[in-house]
Structures are given as C-alpha cells and as structure tokens.
Amino acid sequence: MTQKVAPKPEPKAVVSVVTPTAPVTAPVVSEKSLMASLQTALAAGNFKLVAQVSQELVKYQRTQEQAAADAKSKALLAVTLEVKTALDAAVKKLVDAKKLDLADGVWYSQDFGDKSAACRLIKATAKAERKSSGGGTGKKFSIGTAELLQKYGGMEYKDGQTFQQTYEADSDKNFRFGIRNALLKLEGLIT
C-alpha cells in the first residue's frame, strides 16, 4: 500500500505596516524640572529614583557646561585672526625699522589672569657637532679580537673554560663584547 503525501503549503509572509500617528519627541528636560523630581524622590524616600535623577541632573549640567565652553571657543576663533594680524603688524614695523636684525624670532605671551606679559627675542645658535652618532663609532683600538684571542686565548676565563672556548661557544655580540673587554683589560688598554 502506497500512500501519497500531499505537499504542505508554504506559509505566506505577513507584512504589517505601522504608521505613526504623531512624531515621537523626547520630553523637554530642564534643570528646574530635574531638581523638582529630585526633591520629590527625596521626600518619598525612594533612593533608587534619587540616584537615577541625580545622574540625569549631572548629565544635563555637563551638557550645559560643554555648550558654554564650545560657544566661548567659537568666539575666540573669530578673534584669533584679528589679534594675530595686529601682532604681526607691530612686529613688522620693528623688523622694517631694523630693530630686530640680531634676533631670529619673537616669542610673546600675555596671561590676563596674572596681568603680566612676556616677550623674548630668540636667537638661534648653531648646534654643536656631535661627537658620536651611534652605529659603532665608540673607542677604537689598534688590536682586534682575533689578535687578542691568539695572544690570550689559552688562558682561563670563567668556569674552567679558556677565552677561546668561551668566545666560540656563543655568537651573541653582547656576550662576545664582554669577552673582548676582558681581553682588553688583560692587554692593559682599558681599566
């Protein structure tokens, strides 16, 4: 007996469209309303709500402080070019009058909190030539490591090994530098 199985109908997709009836707006929050909410929560003894409202109040105050700082920065940017132009004009007059011929630059600072101004005339000096620029330009000796090993290689260095055996045992340049220094001390070239 064979039974025919009818294919299952596939479920149809259901699409629902939601149209908003009114635009969603965030409630308007002010410091005064947050303080009132804080007082209400304190009076009710609901300390979880007190903590939550306090955090919102701090966020609000930080936002207000940041907005005020940003406004001040924008105002200063507008005036910066005007101040720079005025200072450049004053310095240019001194340069044209050849009063700043010995200087390479002018550094000017005025802190309004201290009511003090500082002005320095800058003279660039030639930099002293370096004695060493790295890369193996240290002390040079007329005798090489190979010659020192021929001369002192058979002598005991450490742990019953000779200078030659110790030198050949490790190819690390820092390790070999230590051996070379010991050989130079034996030769009397360094102390």
Residues 36 and 118 placed together within one structural domain of the fold? yes
Residues 106 and 178 placed together within one structural domain of the fold? no
- pLDDT mean over 4-19: 57
Instruction: Measure the CA–CA gap between 115 and 119, rounded to whole angstroms.
Output: 14
pLDDT on residue 55: 92
pLDDT on residue 114: 74
Mean pLDDT score of the chain: 81
Residues 95 and 157 placed together within one structural domain of the fold? no
pLDDT on residue 138: 59
Ramachandran angles phi, psi of 35, nearest 5°: -65, -40
**Count of structural domains within the chain:** 2
Domain coverage including residue 162: 145-187
Give 119's pLDDT tier (boundaries 50, 70, 90).
confident
Residues 159 and 102 placed together within one structural domain of the fold? no
- pLDDT mean over 62-85: 90
- Tell me the whole-structure pTM to 2 decimals: 0.35
Q: Which residue has the tokens 């820092």?
A: 174
- pLDDT mean over 62-76: 91
| Domain-located, residue 150 | yes
